[in-house]
Amino acid sequence: MIFLDSCIVIDYINGRLEISDKDKNKYCINSIVDMEICVGARNKRELNSIKKKISDAARHGERTRGLVV
């Protein structure tokens, strides 16, 4: 599992984001796709580290698509 945000948890299987059918109506899937950010976090500490790296990259005008952390 990865944390995409502190309030949403989705499964990441075989390079695809999977959201269960019961949760699909809760979230705007299009907004997730539009962000074009591919990151994975095993826990909240790692999530915070990834968010900081993405924020720093965005602040310096770097593209975050496909960012490897």
More reliable by pLDDT, 37 or 49: 49
pLDDT band at 20 (very low <50, low <70, confident <90, very high): low
Spatial distance between the Cα atoms of 65 and 38, rounded to a whole number of angstroms: 7
Burial class of residue 28, CB neighbours in 10 A (0-12, 13-18, 19+)? exposed
pTM score of the predicted model? 0.34
DSSP, collapsed to helix, strand or coil, labels residue 67 as coil
DSSP, collapsed to helix, strand or coil, labels residue 8 as strand
- In tens, the pLDDT along 29-47 reads 554 443 444 455 667 787 7
